[in-house]
Amino acid sequence: MSFGLSDCCTPCASETTTQVPGIEGPPGIDGTDGQNGVSAFTLTLDDFVIPPADGTTPVTVEVADTSWMAVGEPLFMPDGLFFLVAALVDSTHVQVVYPAWEANVNAGNTIAAGTIVTPSGWQPAATATPAVDAIAQYGSGTAHTVTGAAFATVTFGTSGAQQVTLTTAGTWLITARARCDYVGATFAAVRTVSLKVRRTNNTAGDVTHVATAWRTQIITTLTFTALDAVLASAQYVTANVDDVLALQVAIDTDPTAGSLQIVEAEIVATYLHA
């Protein structure tokens, strides 16, 4: 049997190159070793006396190595606690000061040779706190007569306005109460008495939730204690250091005879946290 040219395969239109990997060669020469690092600690080589805890009196300390230290860096040494690098004298001498931090109570003691010296951290800034944990205003004596639908600050003739000034920014717990008495009072219908605490400066506004309201009785020329009203307590957050919070009262309709008086009251602000 014979075949013609038409029976042969057709050549590819373009060439295809295939990379065939050869045999892996021998390993190359190892590179040069890197430089050894420096330990971030050292040892004292001589005794020294801890200076006063004023952060300004320097003392020179001989150590094995100062290359890892930086001016201003805090250091820790057992039996002395915390120091600050004041100056790097040379590769084996460092000047340190003893800051007035709470734990630094070892001024005058001796740090012995061979004591470890390591990096340390900073003492956190002290949280600002008021001179007292709570600020309170208590009033009694010459009573405050409740009158008018417009809120007015409860004010006693002897102890003045029932208000407190917050001396520290942060979160406070606000509480208040007021004892309300009928004095020869006549109420022909039930009336509503409202009490609240209001910030009177730094953009005045009511303290949220620190409020209450109660209803009078229908009475005729009677004198007795109507209610010792306790306002709801709430947290109050401020960025100011002089907010004035006042206890205020209002009544929707005055009595037709006699009066409704607040004879005793208090407002208390208890500091919780920054």
63 shares its domain with 179:
no
User: pLDDT per position in the chain (274 positions), as tens?
Assistant: 555 555 555 666 677 777 888 888 888 888 888 888 888 899 999 999 999 999 999 999 999 999 999 999 999 999 889 999 999 999 999 999 999 998 899 999 999 999 999 999 888 776 666 667 889 999 988 999 999 999 999 999 988 999 999 999 999 999 999 999 999 999 999 999 999 999 999 999 999 999 999 999 999 999 999 999 999 999 999 999 999 999 999 999 999 999 999 999 999 999 998 8
Domain range for 182: 134-273
Sign of CA dihedral 93, 99, 101, 103: positive
Tell me which of 90, 119, 148 is where a domain ends: 119
Whether 76 is in a domain gets the answer yes
pLDDT the model gives residue 130: 66
108 shares its domain with 138:
no
153 shares its domain with 266:
yes
82 shares its domain with 187:
no
Q: Return all residues near 31 (Cβ < 8 A) that are at least 6 apart.
A: none
Residue 268's CATH number: 2.60.120.760
Tell me which of 66, 96, 119 is where a domain ends: 119
235 shares its domain with 172:
yes
8 A C-beta contact, residue 73 and residue 88 = no
Residue 61's CATH number: 2.40.30
Q: Return all residues near 217 (Cβ < 8 A) that are at least 6 apart.
A: 187, 190, 226
Overall number of domains in the chain: 2
pLDDT the model gives residue 127: 65
